[in-house]
Structure 1
Amino acid sequence: MERIGYRNAVARQPQSLTEGLDIVRGALASLDLQAFKGRSVGFAGIGASYQAAMVGAAYLRDLGIASFPYCPTDLYGALDSAAGAFVALSASGQSREISDVMRLRPDLPKLAICRGSENPLAELTGAVLPTGSGSDNGASSTGYTGMLLAIGLLCERLAGGHSSPEWDRLPAAVSKTLETAKASAAKAAARLGACSSIDLVGAGTGFANAGEGAMLIREAVRLPAAGWDTMNYLHGPMESQDSRTGVIAFGSGREVKIAEDMAGFGCPSVLITERDDVAERDNLVVISVPSLRHPVADAIIQIVALQMIVGDMQDAAGLTNITFRYRQTDTKLKPWSPTEV
């Protein structure tokens, strides 16, 4: 679980996803999930893991099972009514708040998703699905995409179906994105680098990516950013945007018009989409990425494009491979390490 440079972490994702597929499938084959059957499922996470929780809940609902995303603040109360079972998300397995709220529910079925299988959260839940995502940067790259991979495979298992064949095509699609999106990502970073703040917009798994992208920009570039649901963004939040502020939209529906409209208003805009028929224009950079027609796999591909933009922005700002300035001492169960994630 070595801490490595930001660009190195982004670049190794075809490898980490390939390895993760084998690790997650092997672990799922030996997990007994019978206790989850017939229950609503809560996905609990904090930081990047909360955005992953949103992906998990959205996908499991798509598969026909009642599911909800939670940050720990919501779970210190409502002990018996939040969900009938829980998937606890923490890449390190050391997030104090997730352990707190899982400990409050000793009688509910619980499963942890972490990088590895030996950590406090895995011990507390009694069952763990390791992602095998391995080395990463403090601003999560492999940790986030590896967790989405594990969540997607878990949801399909909980819904009683077979693993989607699209998973086997994912590492190659990510590899293609890392190559073909390089020039567009650099152009987008150049447009956004002078902004005073950036809004990120998306729906469904794209909303989760908007939140994760905002965190990455805040952590790696130290620039204010916020994630918004597509339709909610139209009801007021976009009003503050102008030539000094940027927008990044994930998606192929209403997000396209948002990106085009904001560009027309003079706002530096970026669209990350599976569509290849959207033309660039003044103030608008379009990054077309592959689509596997699978909501979670596509979310992974699209966040990789955003990670590439952030890498270029970080370098341009002279912040290459920085660590957090405001290190909190009460959020992890073990002391922070400069060499481990």
Structure 2
Amino acid sequence: MEPTASFVDAMRAQPENLARARETVLRDLASAGLPRWDAGDSVAVVAMGASLNSSHALVAALAAAGHPASGVVASDLADGLAVVRADHNIVVSESGRSPEPLAAARKLAAGTRIGISNFPDQPIRDEVDAVLGLGGFPDSPVYTSGFTATILAYALLLDHVGVYEGAAEADRIPGRVADVLRDYAEAAATVGRVLATAKTIDVVGRGASLTAAAELSLMVREGLRTPSAAFETFQYLHGPMEVLSDDDALVIFGDGREVSIPSSVLDAGVPVVLVTAADPATIPAAGHANLTVVPLPAGLGVFERAIVETVIAQLAIAAAIEHKPYPLEEFLYHQDDTKLPVR
């Protein structure tokens, strides 16, 4: 079986696991023989679950560099509900054994498929043209290290193929995560109490910050057993927010339109958490009793920020579970077809 760890242990081990992932990805890139990507080349990320959530950071970085990119639900591609004609396809499966990404990879053109996996010797190796390993470290059932390591791998991959200067970010990420784990515990405890008492939790972000928003929503559902959904910022304003009440909570990641969203719901008693690098003076509702602002360091790169926001979310989940009568690691419902056998 794959090595596993508790959520808190895997979360705390991320600086070391990310350093290992950096070394492993660099080694695999050196031997993969990947060509430089041409200007405007298109990219698809094919994945399921948490791995698909990670794709938002990659798509944002590629869009900024002028490359059309999208995240694709692997089961849609495998079953013919989606068609992908990208120049480069990134197939992500942390376990290397998720059947949907493996089946989807068979629908993609040979020579275009790059795999990313914590266990690259599993069946994913047979379905892609090159695979980047993350290091084979133990991870938690609600993914922690594998999720952030995948984002680090994106930074190194894009740097290697010449479309985004991600190597410097990847160098900083292990230390940056160590700083977050040390410095955000108090803020996370506050956010954790908000999450633990809410009946439903909406999570909002856009661009690279949709990575953490989508992943926090999934962790809330998997770990806290609380209904939750993630939304792109402007999409959220077109109706989904209308269900909010003082029994719910709203978590927002971002520095743009995100900073003014709380103003419309705080007086209705909705607890709001805003994770932002915005100047406090630009937050209209700063100081409101129902608003918790979690400030981010300035100057973070695209992948660096996605990871920092995600680790803050992990800390909040770890704090929230302290208010629940069950562990994060105990899933209620088990499916026997989401992983192929370990080989």
User: How does the TM-score come out when normalised to structure 1?
Assistant: 0.92
- Assess if the C-alpha contact under 8 Å between 1:213 and 1:307 holds in 2: yes
Which one-letter code corresponds to 2:98 in the other structure? S
Q: Which has the higher mean CA deviation after the structures are superposed, 29-38 or 69-78?
A: 29-38
Quote how far apart the aligned CAs of 1:172 are: 2.0
Label 1:162 to 1:244 Cα distance change in 2 as closer, same or farther (>3 A).
closer
- 1:212 correspondence with 2:219: no
Which one-letter code corresponds to 2:203 in the other structure? L
Q: Which has the higher mean CA deviation after the structures are superposed, 107-116 or 28-37?
A: 28-37
Corresponding residue for residue 338 of structure 1? none
Q: Which has the higher mean CA deviation after the structures are superposed, 274-283 or 176-185?
A: 274-283
Quote how far apart the aligned CAs of 1:77 are: 2.4
Residue in structure 1 matching 2:242, options 231, 239, 244? 239
Label 1:231 to 1:79 Cα distance change in 2 as closer, same or farther (>3 A).
closer
- Assess if the C-alpha contact under 8 Å between 1:177 and 1:290 holds in 2: no
- Assess if the C-alpha contact under 8 Å between 2:252 and 2:274 holds in 1: yes
What count of residue pairs does the alignment treat as equivalent?
A: 335
Label 1:222 to 1:179 Cα distance change in 2 as closer, same or farther (>3 A).
same
- Assess if the C-alpha contact under 8 Å between 1:273 and 1:302 holds in 2: no
Corresponding residue for residue 300 of structure 1? 307
Alignment of 1:5-24 (within 5 A): 5-24=6-25
For 1:136 and 1:224, how far apart are their aligned partners in 2? 24
Alignment RMSD: 2.0
- Assess if the C-alpha contact under 8 Å between 2:142 and 2:219 holds in 1: yes
Label 1:4 to 1:260 Cα distance change in 2 as closer, same or farther (>3 A).
farther
Label 1:271 to 1:65 Cα distance change in 2 as closer, same or farther (>3 A).
same
Corresponding residue for residue 157 of structure 2? 154
User: How does the TM-score come out when normalised to structure 2?
Assistant: 0.91
Q: Which has the higher mean CA deviation after the structures are superposed, 309-318 or 319-328?
A: 319-328
Q: Which has the higher mean CA deviation after the structures are superposed, 216-225 or 322-331?
A: 322-331
Corresponding residue for residue 172 of structure 2? 169
- Assess if the C-alpha contact under 8 Å between 1:35 and 1:109 holds in 2: no
For 1:245 and 1:98, how far apart are their aligned partners in 2? 34
Provide the secondary structure at the position in 2 that maps to 1:34. coil
Which one-letter code corresponds to 1:334 in the other structure? P
Label 1:171 to 1:105 Cα distance change in 2 as closer, same or farther (>3 A).
closer
Alignment of 1:121-136 (within 5 A): 121-132=124-135, 134-136=137-139
Label 1:157 to 1:66 Cα distance change in 2 as closer, same or farther (>3 A).
farther
Corresponding residue for residue 103 of structure 1? 106
Quote how far apart the aligned CAs of 1:144 are: 0.6
Corresponding residue for residue 268 of structure 1? 271
- Assess if the C-alpha contact under 8 Å between 1:166 and 1:292 holds in 2: no
Which one-letter code corresponds to 1:41 in the other structure? V
Quote how far apart the aligned CAs of 1:268 are: 1.1
Which one-letter code corresponds to 1:29 in the other structure? A
Q: Which has the higher mean CA deviation after the structures are superposed, 282-291 or 201-210?
A: 282-291
For 2:137 and 2:145, how far apart are their aligned partners in 1? 7
Provide the secondary structure at the position in 2 that maps to 1:242. coil
- 1:329 correspondence with 2:336: yes
Which one-letter code corresponds to 2:12 in the other structure? A
Corresponding residue for residue 4 of structure 1? 5
Deviation string 1:22-80 (CA, Å, 9 cap, x unpaired) is 22122212221128656422110100011112222221222222222101243132786
Q: Which has the higher mean CA deviation after the structures are superposed, 50-59 or 74-83?
A: 74-83
Provide the secondary structure at the position in 1 that maps to 2:292. strand
Provide the secondary structure at the position in 2 that maps to 1:138. coil
Which one-letter code corresponds to 1:51 in the other structure? N
For 1:166 and 1:152, how far apart are their aligned partners in 2? 7
Quote how far apart the aligned CAs of 1:280 are: 4.0
- 1:287 correspondence with 2:285: no
Q: Which has the higher mean CA deviation after the structures are superposed, 103-112 or 85-94?
A: 103-112
Alignment of 1:59-138 (within 5 A): 59-75=61-77, 76-77=79-80, 81-132=84-135, 134-138=137-141
Deviation string 1:314-339 (CA, Å, 9 cap, x unpaired) is 1211222432211111121127xxxx
Corresponding residue for residue 184 of structure 1? 187
Corresponding residue for residue 42 of structure 2? 40
Identity %: 29
- 1:143 correspondence with 2:146: yes
For 2:179 and 2:269, how far apart are their aligned partners in 1? 31
Once superposed, which parts of structure 1, at least 4 consecutive aligned residues long, lie more than 6 Å away? Answer: none
Q: Which has the higher mean CA deviation after the structures are superposed, 48-57 or 303-312?
A: 48-57
- Assess if the C-alpha contact under 8 Å between 2:249 and 2:271 holds in 1: yes
Quote how far apart the aligned CAs of 1:162 are: 4.8
Which one-letter code corresponds to 1:189 in the other structure? G
Q: Which has the higher mean CA deviation after the structures are superposed, 191-200 or 273-282?
A: 273-282
Quote how far apart the aligned CAs of 1:276 are: 5.4
- 1:31 correspondence with 2:32: yes
Which one-letter code corresponds to 2:17 in the other structure? S
- Assess if the C-alpha contact under 8 Å between 1:2 and 1:136 holds in 2: yes
Deviation string 1:84-142 (CA, Å, 9 cap, x unpaired) is 33110010011101111111235352110001321101222131011226111100100
